[in-house]
Amino acid sequence: MIKISDYKLAESLLRAVCGQKKVDFLDLEIQFDNDEGLKNSILTIPETKNLGQTMFKIVSLYMKNMNDISGTKCIAPRERHSILIYIASLLRNYVYSNDSFPEAKSDDLNLSRLYQRQFVWTMMKDVICPLTSTPLRNMRIVSGGSAHIDIAKFYDEGEAEEGSYPFIFMNTDIENDVIKNVFVLIEAIKAHGLCPVKTINDILHSPQKEQFMGLVTIAFVDDEKIDQFLSVVCSVLQIGDETSSLRVVRPDNEGVKMAQSMDSSMMWWYLGIMEKMLQPARGTDWSVHEALEAPVKEFWDKVERVKEERGSESVPFNMLLRLKSDEHKTDTSHTLEHILGSDRIW
């Protein structure tokens, strides 16, 4: 039997709406059929193309029948419409990503291991397993698209089908890698026999919180992605709004010297001097040709004289090298800095 709670993201959104309206959330049964609506406390949903559409259908049908489900007139049509527009935008942001390419998505199942999800593997290996004294398991991951299975789901041995090995299913209908990491992490915690709610809550209220946040910051870098990860983790696990206390505050490049950076806007004229000093090194110009023309001509004149002396039309390569090496004899009484001084641009 499939319930709303089998789709954690949809459940968290509905719980948030119900909490705002001060009504109880009911974990209704879901059936996929051609009809659409609520009958005998069962949400009937038509077939959808992907998981994103399924989650939105669950949310929209529940809210459409929210007054009947709660037994009170808790939401008006206009307000419901505004909330659904917001949820549709939020789900689109959670499901899709500008960094993904639809052409690269395979219709076949893909088999991998937990260590190939670098963020989840590192979090389990360095934070969660040592904290809970749990042996680390390199779980199998089966990746594929499905409109009926949540973003990630752990199947214990024989649960998917008789004789099947334990694995985590990861739904490739979700393109946003941050969201996939949230759900794979939660299911990986379950696969190790731990309670995700208790485990994450304990970490956020322990000295390991700093290590947890450090890994999140390194993995996602961008502040928006960090906030998205934290907010989804807290809302899906219903551990309260921890995001405000977990935000990473970083100075905006304070004290970091960038190329040609100035401490004062009054020093703008200094850039002109730097450009003038670097101008001789800005690629090819006619002065370079003029400077090299004389020594090049002198070298080939030597080659012609050697040809005449040898009475041949060519000169062996080792002799060319010998002729060239004669041009680079230096005065050993000068230091290297003195020799290179005339070639410097500063």
pLDDT band at 321; cut points 50, 70, 90 = confident
110 and 235 both lie in a single domain = yes
Contact 8, 151 (CB under 8 A): yes
163 and 215 both lie in a single domain = yes
114 and 63 both lie in a single domain = no
Residue, of 283 and 184, whose pLDDT is higher: 184
Q: Which domain holds residue 82?
A: 2-95
241 and 110 both lie in a single domain = yes
Give domain status of residue 134, yes or no: yes
What pLDDT digit, counting tens, does each position of 220-276 carry?
Answer: 888 889 999 999 999 999 886 544 444 443 444 444 444 444 444 445 445 556 666
Q: Count the Cβ atoms, other than its own, within 10 Å of residue 45.
A: 22
Measured CA to CA, the distance from residue 179 to residue 97 in angstroms comes to 10
Taking Cα atoms as reference points, which of 56, 77, 55 lies closest to residue 66?
Answer: 77
What pLDDT digit, counting tens, does each position of 158-175 carry?
Answer: 887 776 789 999 999 998
Rounded to an integer, the average pLDDT of 82-96 is 91
91 and 113 both lie in a single domain = no
Per-position b or e across 104-140, b if 16+ CB within 10 A of its CB: eeeeeeeeeebeebebbbebbebbbbebbeeebeebb
- 184: its two tokens: 């794979």
Contact 128, 189 (CB under 8 A): yes
Give domain status of residue 91, yes or no: yes
**3-class secondary structure, 228:** helix
Give domain status of residue 67, yes or no: yes
- 47: its two tokens: 């077939």
11-15, 41-45, 99-103, 250-254: least confident range:
250-254
Q: Please give the share of the chain, as a percent, with pLDDT higher than 70.
A: 78
Q: Which residues contact 172 (CB under 8 A, 6 or more apart)?
A: 105, 106, 110, 143, 144, 145
Give domain status of residue 164, yes or no: yes
Q: Give 46-50 contacts, CB < 8 A, sequence gap 24+.
A: 47/147, 48/147, 49/147, 50/95, 50/145, 50/147, 50/173
What strand order describes the sheet that includes 2-3?
Answer: 2-3, 29-32, 42-45, 37-39
111 and 242 both lie in a single domain = yes
In this prediction, residue 326 carries a pLDDT of: 67
Rounded to an integer, the average pLDDT of 12-33 is 91
Measured CA to CA, the distance from residue 88 to residue 32 in angstroms comes to 21
44 and 64 both lie in a single domain = yes
115 and 170 both lie in a single domain = yes
120 and 211 both lie in a single domain = yes
pLDDT band at 33; cut points 50, 70, 90 = confident
Residue, of 267 and 135, whose pLDDT is higher: 135
198 and 75 both lie in a single domain = no
C-alpha separations of 258 from 126, 220, 223, 248 in Å: 34, 23, 21, 23
Measured CA to CA, the distance from residue 265 to residue 257 in angstroms comes to 15
Give domain status of residue 294, yes or no: no
- 292: its two tokens: 């090299």
Which of 246, 266, 282 represents a domain boundary (last residue)? 246
pTM of the predicted protein model: 0.68
Question: Considering its fold, how many domains does the chain have in total?
Answer: 2
90 and 110 both lie in a single domain = no
Give domain status of residue 117, yes or no: yes
Give domain status of residue 327, yes or no: no
Quick one: how far is CA 92 from the chain centroid?
17
In this prediction, residue 245 carries a pLDDT of: 41
Which of 214, 246, 278 represents a domain boundary (last residue)? 246
Task: Please return the burial class of 160, using the count of CB atoms within 10 Å of its CB with bins 0-12, 13-18 and 19+.
Answer: middle
φ/ψ (deg, to 5) at 32: -100, 120
Measured CA to CA, the distance from residue 164 to residue 200 in angstroms comes to 29
What pLDDT digit, counting tens, does each position of 289-305 carry?
Answer: 677 788 888 888 888 88
In this prediction, residue 272 carries a pLDDT of: 59
Which of 219, 246, 273 represents a domain boundary (last residue)? 246
Give domain status of residue 202, yes or no: yes
In this prediction, residue 342 carries a pLDDT of: 64
In this prediction, residue 343 carries a pLDDT of: 61
173 and 238 both lie in a single domain = yes
